[in-house]
Amino acid sequence: MVHITILGMSHCSQFIHKILISKVCQPSKSSSLEKIMQLGSAAIIIFEHAFYLSEQQHYRVEQEPSVRPVRVALEQYIASPNAAAVREALSSAVRPYEAGSSRWIAGSAKHSQKKEDLIETITQVILQHRLPRPNV
């Protein structure tokens, strides 16, 4: 089974952050909220796929133990059309939310509903753009 140490996880998260910022986000065009949503969504998709890859590795003993599921999942995500689709879908969801948020009173019913709608949209984007499960 694949074990990730604290040090390995820290290195892994720094690697993912560096790659995702350069490949997934559009830094000059994106707001802070948009970047956070893009990175968070990409990380969820990548870590889910890495989980399945590590499970696959666990069941295939003959496979090299040096395969790094998170790195492989990251590379597959970046190479897939999912990265661009997630970026576009989240931009389309976050920008209208931010444009209207200055007119809403924090804690109001309208603000709460818009935030709930944004969260639901982000969840749907993640679920629709998951990477295919590898055969275990």
Give yes or no for residue 67 having a pLDDT over 80.
Answer: no
pTM of the model: 0.75
Report the C-alpha gap between 118 and 90 in whole angstroms: 9
pLDDT tens, 109-135? 777 788 899 999 999 999 999 999 877
Give yes or no for residue 5 having a pLDDT over 60.
Answer: no
| Arithmetic mean of pLDDT, 3-14 | 49
Question: For the ranges 14-18, 36-40, 54-58, 122-126, which has the lowest average pLDDT?
Answer: 14-18
Closest CA to 13 of 50, 43, 55: 43
Residue pair 93/118 in contact by the 8 Å Cβ criterion: yes
Give yes or no for residue 84 having a pLDDT over 80.
Answer: yes
CA distances from residue 85 to 42, 82, 96, 104 in whole angstroms, order as listed: 11, 5, 18, 29
pLDDT more than 70, % of the chain: 65
Give yes or no for residue 43 having a pLDDT over 80.
Answer: yes
